[in-house]
Amino acid sequence: MPVHNEDLAAAFDEMGDLLALSADNPFRINAYRRAARVVRGLPEELQARVAAGFDPDDLPGIGADLAGKIRVFLDTGELPGLARLRKSVPTGLRELLALPNVGPSRVRALHEALGVRDLKSLRAALAAHRVREVAGFGPKRESQLEQAVAAHAGHDRRLLRPVASQYAAALLSYLRNVPGIDQVEVAGSYRRGRETVGDLDFLVCSRGPVDIGKALLGYDETASLLSAGPTKSSAVLKSGLQVDVRLVPPASFGSALHYFTGSKAHNIHVRRLAMERGLKVNEYGVFRGERQIAGTTEASVFKAVGLPYIEPELREDRGEIEAAGVRRLPSLVKLDDLKGDLHVHTLATDGTTTLAEMAAAAKRAGLDYIAITDHAQHIGAVHGLDASRLARQLDEIDSLNASLTGITLLKGIEVDILEDGTLALPDRVLGKLDIVVAAVHDHFGLTRRRQTDRLLRAFDRPFVSVLAHPAARLIDERPALDVAWNRVFRRAQERPVYLELNSQPTRLDLDDILVREAIENNVLISVASDAHGAQGFAFLDGGILQARRGWVSKADVLNTRPLREVRRLLRKTFLA
């Protein structure tokens, strides 16, 4: 039975939550939470790797005990001990843990005092104003909780792209093997490269009828069939993800692919253009009167309305149709264009692998150079480098560079920008490096004026080269910094400071909108993996998708350039 990394990660998360709710040993709870993070961060399916002989014991932070549990899960889909725990702790309490400022002990208090079992019973208790009576709450906390519950209600569940990608790949290969099916594509937001997807839209092409409902029922990840018809069927997978599947004949395939790729706003705009030409565009084709004049391929649909092909990542009705009309579409950057990666961690701080292994992995990923940018020491940072440990790492880089071929290591650091815009290491230390990547890791809530001044002050430091994950947002967890971006872009262009597009799936920051504004201000972008292990370079493709969504071309990206040019661009000319 197929098991995806996300299924395993979700089981570990559930285990961690339920243990926390039963006030278990904190080390055990943390071990499960860490295991969930590790598994979620793997770009390749663990089941296939283990089947090929990989030992889960070799995963960072996974000991023999958890490795054994992983093996059981990969074989059976069950995590040992989880079923028993589900019987002793009301699982609905987990919904409460997702609320801001609500930890396990508060949830336990609500459960014990009021019999709260889930979000629904919490709502009832709030409505009756009984929460204020519970020890540790009071009227103020009650009203905060009320607001948090209300905000939570409107929150629709979207999956991070790499998670959706695992479910998509499995269903794609299943559908491709169903008899009678000639071609399958994933359309929708997934094809447009969005950072999260709400549901997956599959397009199936066949010359004859195919019973898609039956095919979905026969898929072992299907939980329930929502609808089944001759052209459209929908199912919910065991993971909770909805899949919509449409069946079309070859003559309509291009039109259907265009229609179901969306976005809706893009489609509406294309239909308007068609109408102006006396044409009708829908998912079945492009028509003049009754006669179909295009629709076998997507390119034919665009051509019929007078446009060149528009890449899916651009189809948001953010000016792409106008740009296509005057033949001014950007030529979008590709993964292959990247020559290096300017943000990489090692064992020295919170990475999981040595310098030498990171170098080898980068070379395998087709890169010519990487910058080693471990964390500088700062209160709260994990085991950050101080000046003397950094000096030792620099010696190690020198000796590796002397022996390595086909890959060069740049000397760098990821240094915190403190609340007042100063840096966590002095200039005399930073001045010895090839590259200084500066980043905000705390004080996220400053006012716009103070936050903007903080960044600009950091840009004025003599050795800052790149601002990492500029908006510091975490998808679904932390909003973007409140910053006057026009000022930041202008100053970045003057200095220059390069702005990062961090490829970690929960960051993808700068996002599509901001990265586009940045390049319009002539700021170069560093598309970086922020890799913490040898597998981390695989995330670069997500960063590239986000860049493409932001209209970024090869010339807009710092690390599409050869090393020599990057070294020149990193030199601080304004110092001279």
Give the binding site for ligand DGT (CB under 6 A).
188-189, 197-199, 201, 259-260, 262-264, 267-268
Least separation in angstroms between CB 203 and ligand DGT: 10
> Contact at 8 Å (CB) between 288 and 273?
no
Structure tokens, 256: 């259907």
Least separation in angstroms between CB 227 and Ca ion: 12
Residue 195 interacting with Ca ion (CB under 5 A)? no
Instruction: For ligand DGT, give the closer residue by CB, 92 or 198.
Output: 198
By C-alpha distance, which of 160, 43, 258, 163 is closest to 546? 160
Instruction: For ligand DGT, give the closer residue by CB, 318 or 378.
Output: 318
Binding mask 142-181 for Ca ion (x = CB under 5 A): ----------------------------------------
Least separation in angstroms between CB 514 and ligand DGT: 20
Structure tokens, 390: 């950094």
Interstrand relation of 340-344 and 232-237 (parallel, antiparallel or unpaired): unpaired
Instruction: For ligand DGT, give the closer residue by CB, 74 or 200.
Output: 200
- What string of DSSP letters covers 229-262? -SSEEEEEETTS-EEEEEEE-GGGHHHHHHHHH-
Instruction: For ligand DGT, give the closer residue by CB, 8 or 243.
Output: 243
Instruction: For ligand DGT, give the closer residue by CB, 198 or 325.
Output: 198
Residue 199 interacting with Ca ion (CB under 5 A)? yes
- Cα–Cα distance, 238 to 1 (Å, whole number): 13
CB neighbour class for 288 (10 Å; exposed up to 12, middle 13-18, buried from 19): middle
- Cα–Cα distance, 324 to 310 (Å, whole number): 7
Instruction: For ligand DGT, give the closer residue by CB, 276 or 565.
Output: 276
Selected from 56, 162, 188, 412, the binder of Ca ion by CB under 5 A is: 188
The SS3 assignment for 292 reads: strand
Least separation in angstroms between CB 512 and ligand DGT: 14
The most distant pair of C-alpha atoms in the chain lies apart, rounded to whole Å, by 77
Whole-angstrom CA distances from 172 to 148, 249, 258 are 38, 18, 18
Instruction: For ligand DGT, give the closer residue by CB, 86 or 264.
Output: 264
Selected from 7, 14, 45, 244, the binder of Ca ion by CB under 5 A is: 244
Structure tokens, 255: 């039109």
Least separation in angstroms between CB 473 and Ca ion: 22
Interstrand relation of 408-416 and 435-439 (parallel, antiparallel or unpaired): parallel
> Contact at 8 Å (CB) between 272 and 245?
no
Q: Which residues contact 163 (CB under 8 A, 6 or more apart)?
A: 6, 40, 505
Question: Which helix (H) or strand (E) element contains residue 294?
Answer: strand 291-294
Residue 162 binding result from ligand DGT, Ca ion, none, given CB thresholds of 5 to 8 Å by partner type: none
Least separation in angstroms between CB 179 and ligand DGT: 27
Residue of closest CB approach to ligand DGT: 262
Residue 201 interacting with Ca ion (CB under 5 A)? yes
Residue 185 interacting with Ca ion (CB under 5 A)? no
Least separation in angstroms between CB 159 and ligand DGT: 9
Instruction: For ligand DGT, give the closer residue by CB, 272 or 449.
Output: 272
Return the residues of window 513-572 that contact Ca ion according to CB under 5 A: none
Residue 287 binding result from ligand DGT, Ca ion, none, given CB thresholds of 5 to 8 Å by partner type: none
Binding site for Ca ion (CB under 5 A): 188-189, 199, 201, 244
